[in-house]
Amino acid sequence: MNEKGISLSAHTMKVLIKRELISSIYGWGLYIAVFISFLLSSFILRNFMRGIGQNNIFISSYPLNLPLFISVVIISLYLVIVSAISISREKEHGTLEVLFYGPVSSSSFLLGKYITDMLLYVIILGFFAVYFLGVSLLTNLGFTLALGKAFLVSIFLASCMISFGLFISSLTGRVRSSIVWLIGILLAFLGIWFLENIFIHIPPESLSSWLLYIQKTLSVIYHFVNWVSPFSYLSRGMESIRIGSIKPFLLNIIYSTIYTVVLLLLSIYILKSKGVRA
Amino acid sequence: MDAIYTKNLTKEYDGFKAVDNLNLKVEEGQIYGFLGPNGAGKTTTMLMLLGILKPTQGEIRIMGESLSKNPLSIKKKIGVVSEKQYLYREMTAQEYLNFFADLYKVKNKKNRIEQLLAAVDLLDVRNRKLGAFSRGMQQKLGFARALLHEPELLLLDEPVSGLDPTGIKQVRDLIEKENKKGKTVFISSHLLSEVEKLCNKVAIINKGKLLAEETMENLRKKLTEFTQLEVELVEINKDILDALSSFEFIKEIHQEKNFLILKITTDKDHRAEISAAIAEKGGVVLGIKIREMSLEEAFITITQKNISLLASNKEATQ
Amino acid sequence: MRLKRASLIYNIIFLLILIPGLAITSSAQQEEKQPSINLTPLLKEQLVYSLNVFDGKGWSGSFVPKTESTIYLIANKDNAICAKKTLVYFWPITVRYIAAWRTLDEDVKGVLEVLKDGKIIEKLKKQDTVLCYPEGYWGEKVVLYKGNEAIKWYKKYKKAEDEYYKALNKYYEARIEYRKKMNKFFEEIKKRREKGEKGPLNIEIPKEPEPPKPPNFFVTEPRKYYVLNLPVGKYKIRLRAKDKTIVEGSEKELLVFTARRREGVGYEIIPGNRWTKREECNDPANAIYAAGKNVLYFRPYRQDEYNELYHNKLLDPQNRGRIENWKWVHTEPIKNVQLLLFSKDNLLKRIDKKPYKVEQIPGPELGYNIVEFKKGKLPGEKPTFEGYQLILSENLPEKSYRIYLQKEGENNNIISTSEREIRLVKRRNANFLFYLSIFPLIIGGVMFVLRYRKIEK
C-alpha cells in the first residue's frame, strides 16, 4: 500500500472509530457491564475485609488484584461478546455493505473495530482507576505498583479477547450464529479443562488402552487450548503479576501481541474471502 | 474516457455463471440504464463494479482506472444507492450524513448536508432517529448519502423502489440535476418505465448475458418493431389459424376465447389482408383493434416473457 | 453445499483430534487388555532413587519414582542419593506415586557415574552418611555428615546416649533410695509425734535426685549413600553394575541450581489471636494489612530465594511448580537485632526480642493468653516462642507504618531488606464500596440525558 493509501486507511479508521465509540458511549451496555463488574468486586472486597477482620492480618503485595481480576474477567466477557457480534451485526443489517461502497477496506474496517474496542477498554480502565482509587481511600488497601502493572497487562489481555471476538465475528454472518459459536467454543474450552482435570487423577496404568488414548489426546488438546483460549492469556497475565518477575510479565505481553496479530490477520483474510454480505 | 468499462466480466458461483462475459462501456456524462429481470445478474455486476465482489474473470475500469489496482481511491469517486437502505438505526439523519461526510472527507460538510437534506425534503427531520424513518425517507436519505461527496459516477440500484410518486419525481429531478452537472449515472433496474424517461443508453441483461446495448432511441425503435392486433371473431377454427400462420408479417398468434391476439410487424397496415384471409376460411370478423404495446411489454418480449417479471411489474406499479 | 463444507470441517477437526492421540498411545496399544478403569492401587516394582538433599536450610528426604526423569539439587552442598528397588503405587487422591518401603527396600549395587556433556566426570562409591539434628530430634536444624565424620558423629551420639542411659539407671536407683529415705523420714516424724514431741522436729529432709538430661542432639544410624556435591549445571547420572552394564532405569537427568538472591530478610508473624496459624511475610514487596486491635509477634529470618519449580522438585520430585516463580526459603533466625517501628520518617519505637508463653485459660472457657515468659516459675519450663511484640489498633493516629531491623547497639544502619509496610485497613467502610460501584451507572445516565436532548422525538 502506498503512502496515500495508508493515509486514506488511517483516516477511514479514524472516522469508523469515532462513530463506534460515540455509539458505545451513548449506549447503556458499557456502563451496565462496568457496574456489574464493580458490584462483584465490591462484594468480594467486602468479604475480603471481613476476612482480614477475622484473621486480624493479611499479607500481600497485591491486595486489590483479585477484585481487579474479577472486574477484568467480567469486562472481558462483555468485550468478547461485543466484538463477536460487531462484524456479524453489520453484515446482518447490511451496514457493512454500505461502508464498503466507500473508501473502506477489510483491513481498515477490522482494525477500526479492534481499535474502537481497545479504546473502549481504555475508557473502562479509567473507570477502574477511579473505582480502585476510591477503594484504596475507603479501605486503605494500597493502590500499589502491582495494581498499575495489572492495569497494563490487562490491556494486552483485553486485546486477546477482542481479537478472539472479532475472529468469531468474521466467521459468521449473523448475530445469532456468532453468539452460538462463541458460547460453543467457550463451553468446549471449559469442557476440555474439566475433563483433563478428571483424567489427571486417574493413574495411567489403571486405564484401558482406549481411555489412555482419550487421556493423552485430551492432554494434547488441553495444551493446544492453553494457547488458543484468550482466557488462558488472562490467567497467565495475572499470574505473571503475582510472580512479580519481569520475564513472564514481558513474555506474556509478547505472546498476547502475537495472538492478537495472528487473529486479526486471520479475521481480515476471512472477511475478505467471505465478503461483506450475511 | 469511459466512466465504466468492463471486458469479459464473469462471476461464477460453484459452476453457475451469474455474469457471463459482460462487456459494458458507459461514457462519461451518460445516464445509462442497466435492465434485466430479477436474477439476471444486475446486482452481481453492481457489486463487482464496487469492488465488493471479486470477478472470476475479466477487467473493470472506472474513470479510466483499473478497479483491482486502486479500489479505495476509485470508490471515493462513486456514489451508490442500493434498492434497500441499510442505516444505523440509532443515528439521526444529520449524524448519519455527518459520518459519511467525514468518511469521504467532504469539504464544507455542514452546508453540503443541509443542502442535500433540503433537496430530498428531509431537513425538518434531520434530528430524528433513523429507526423511525419510513421506507421512502430512508431511500431519500440513501440518495443524499450517495451524493454527499459529489461523486463523478452514480451507481443506482432500483433507485425509486419504495418511493411515492412525489418521491419518485424528486429523485428523478435530482438525477437529472446531477447529470447536468456532468456526472455519469448508471441505473440498474428491472423496470424499463423507471429508466426510459432518464436514460440516454440502455443495456439489457438476462441470465448473466448482455442481450442488447442501445441508445434509448434505437431501443424504442427496436422494441416498437412489432404491434398487436386484437381480432374478435364469432368462432375460431383451425383453418383460420392455419391461414393466418402462413403470413410472414404475423410473428405470433395467441387465442383468448373468441379473440385472436396477433403480433405483427409495423412496416404497414395489414388489417385488410387479415380480414380477407379470415373471411375466405368462413370466419366472421366482429372487430379488429390495434393494441398499443408499451415499452415495458416490448422489453418483456425481448427478455423472453419472464412470468415472474410480470408479477413483480404489477407489484411495482401498484 | 454448506452441509458439505461443514462436514469437511468436522472431518478435519476429528482427524486433528485423532492423530496426536494415536501417535502417543501407539505404544500403549501393545499392552494387555484391562478393565476400563481400575482404581485399586497396583503395586509395581521399580528402581527409584532415595534422596537426602540440602533444601536451603537443612537436609530433607524424598524419593524419585520412575516417572520423574530429573533430580534437582542445590549446588556446592553435599547431597546423599541411593538407588533402591521398591514397590510403587499410584495414589489418585494426591496424584502421586508412593513407595511401599516396608514391603520392599533393597539397595541396588554399583558405581554411580556422573556425566557432563556426555563425559563421565565422577565415579562415586557409596559412603557412610548420617543426619545430625544438633538441636535434638524435634529441632528444626539438620546437618548431613559423610564418611569418617559421619561415623565420628554417630559414635559421639552413641556415647552420649549410652552415658545418658547409664545416668538414667543411676537415677532410677537413686529414686528408689530416695523413696526409702522418704518413708523413713515420715515414719520418724510419726514416731516422735506419737511420743508427744511438739514444735519443730529438726529431721533432715532427704534430697530428691535430679533426672539426667538426655543428649541435646540426635544422629541417625549410618547409611550407605552416594554423596553428590556439584557446581551449578546440567548433568546425567547412571548406575554401573559390577558386570559393567548400566543398570536399567538408573539413568536420570540432574539439574543443579543455586539461589537467585541471598541474605534476604523474611518474617514469620504470629497473630496474637491465633498463634498456631502463623503467617509469612517474605517478599520485600509484601505489605501487612491489619484490622482492629492486633498483637503481632515478629520472628525475623535470613532467607534465600530459589526458583519455585526447582525447589519444589527438590523437596519432592513429584511436586509441581512454575519455572517463572521464585520462592523464599528461611535459612536461619536473625539474632541480636531490634525491631524499629516508623511512622513516615519518625522512629516511634524500638522493640526487643522477648520470650513468650502461651497459657490456656483455666476453666470451661476455651482460649489462651500469650504472656511474657518469666524464668523460674516452674523447673524445666520453657517459653513457647520468642519474638518482637507489636501492638496495633484501629485508633492509631496514622494509617500506615513501616518496620525495619537494626543490629543491637547500632543507631544508624538498618538492615535494608528488612523493611515492610503495615497498613491498617478501615473495615467499617467496607459497605460503602457498593455505593462506589454505582458511579458507572451515573455516568451512563448523564450520557443518556445528553443524547436524549439531542434527538427529536
CA atoms within 13 A on the CB side of A108: 22
Q: Phi first, then psi: what are they for C75, rounded to 5°?
A: -70, 150
C424 Cα distance to chain centroid: 29
pLDDT tier, A148 (very low <50, low <70, confident <90, very high otherwise):
confident
Searching chain B, which residue's CA lies closest to the CA of residue A18? B99
Main-chain phi, psi angles of C114, to 5 degrees: -110, 125
The one-character DSSP state at C361 is P
Confidence bin at B125 (pLDDT 50/70/90): very high
pLDDT above 50 for B43: yes
* Contacts B90 to A, Cβ<8 Å: 23, 26-27
Residue B230 is predicted with a pLDDT of 87
Contact status of A275 with chain B (Cβ, < 8 Å): yes
Quick one: pLDDT band at residue B316, thresholds 50, 70, 90?
A: very low
Strand partners, C400: C423
The residue among A203 and B81 whose pLDDT is bigger is B81
Enumerate the residues of chain A whose CB falls inside 8 A of the CB of residue C29.
Answer: 209
**pLDDT for residue B311 is more than 70:** no
Rounded Cα distance, C250 and A211, in Å: 30
CB pairs under 8 A between A and B: 61
Mean pLDDT for the stretch of residues B164-190:
87
CB contact (8 A) between residue B125 and residue C456: yes
Whole-angstrom distance, CA of residue B98 vs CA of residue B120: 16
- Phi first, then psi, for residue C41 (nearest 5°) are -55, 130
Q: Return mean pLDDT, chain A.
A: 89
Does any CB of chain A come closer than 8 Å to the CB of residue B170?
no
State residue C68's pLDDT score. Answer: 92
Sequence letter at residue A182: L
* Chain C residues touching residue B92 (CB < 8 angstroms): 454-456
Report how far residue C347's alpha carbon sits from residue C343's, in angstroms, rounded to the nearest whole number. 7
pLDDT at site B298:
62
Q: What stretches of C361-427 adopt beta strand conformation (E)? A: 368-372, 385-392, 400-407, 415-424
pLDDT of residue A3: 66
CA angle at residue C373 from C369 to C378, to 5 degrees?
Answer: 105
Q: Is B52 near chain A, with CB under 8 Å?
A: yes
Sign of torsion over alpha carbons C344, C347, C348, C349: positive
Given a cut of 90, whether residue B208 has pLDDT beyond it is: no
pLDDT digits (tens, 9 = 90+) for B260-304: 888 887 777 788 888 888 888 888 888 888 775 555 666 666 654
First to last CA, chain C: 47
Query: What interface predicted TM-score (ipTM) does this complex get?
Result: 0.89
Residues 6+ apart with CB under 8 A from C33: A208, A209
**pLDDT below 70 — which residues of chain C?**
1-41, 365, 376-380, 457
Residues C440/A124, Cβ–Cβ less than 8 Å? no
Say whether pLDDT at A209 is over 70. Answer: yes
Give residue C403's identity as a one-letter amino acid code. Answer: I
B130-163 tens-digit pLDDT: 999 988 899 899 999 999 999 999 999 888 877 7
Q: Which amino acid is at C206?
A: P
**Closest CA of chain B from C453, distance in Å:** 10
pLDDT of residue A95: 93
pLDDT for residue C29:
39
Name the one residue in this structure whose C-alpha cell is 503475582: A242
Q: Count CA within 13 A, CB hemisphere, residue C243.
A: 3
Probe site for chain C from B12, B117, B127 (most C CB atoms < 10 A): B127
Query: What gap in Å lies between CA B231 and CA B234, rounded to an integer?
Result: 10
Select the residue of A15, A95, A103 nearest B76 (Cβ to Cβ): A103
What does the pLDDT look like over A236-259, one tens digit per residue? 887 777 776 788 888 989 999 999
Percentage, residues of chain A above pLDDT 70: 95
Contact check, Cβ <8 Å, C455/B127: yes
In this predicted structure, what is the pLDDT of residue C34? 41
What pLDDT digit, counting tens, does each position of A72-113 carry? 989 999 999 999 999 999 999 999 999 999 889 899 999 999
Contact across the interface for B127 and C456, Cβ inside 8 Å: yes
What cell does C215 get? 543428649
Domain chopping of chain A, boundaries: 3-274
Nearest-CB residue to B50 (from A12, A15, A101): A101
Chain A contact present for B73, CB below 8 A? yes
Query: Do you know the residue count of chain C?
Result: 457
Contacts of A25 in chain C (CB under 8 A): 447
Residue A54 grid cell: 477475622
> Which of chain C's residues have a Cβ under 8 Å away from the Cβ of A251?
324
- Taking an 8 Å cut-off on Cβ atoms, the answer to whether B99 and A19 are in contact is yes
Interatomic CA distance for residues A8 and B68, integer angstroms = 17
Task: Please indicate if any CB of chain B lies within 8 Å of the CB of A9.
Answer: yes
| pLDDT(B217) > 90 | no
Q: Which residues of A touch B11 (CB under 8 A)?
A: none
Interchain pair B75, A103: CB under 8 A: yes
pLDDT in tens, A111-134: 999 999 999 999 999 999 999 999
Q: Is the Cβ pair C454, B129 closer than 8 Å?
A: no
Q: Exposure string (b/e) for A55-67, b if CB count within 10 Å is 16 or more? A: bbbbbbbbbbbbb
Query: 0.80 cut: is pTM over it?
Result: no
Kindly list the distances between the CA atom of residue B133 and the CA atoms of B86, B87, B136, B140, B163, in Å, as whole numbers in the listed order. Answer: 12, 10, 8, 10, 13
Chains near B with 3+ CB pairs less than 8 A apart are A, C
Distance between CA atoms of residues C94 and C320, nearest Å: 12
SS (H, E, C) C165-221: HHHHHHHHHHHHHHHHHHHHHHHHHHHHHHCCCCCCCCCCCCCCCCCCCCCCCEECC
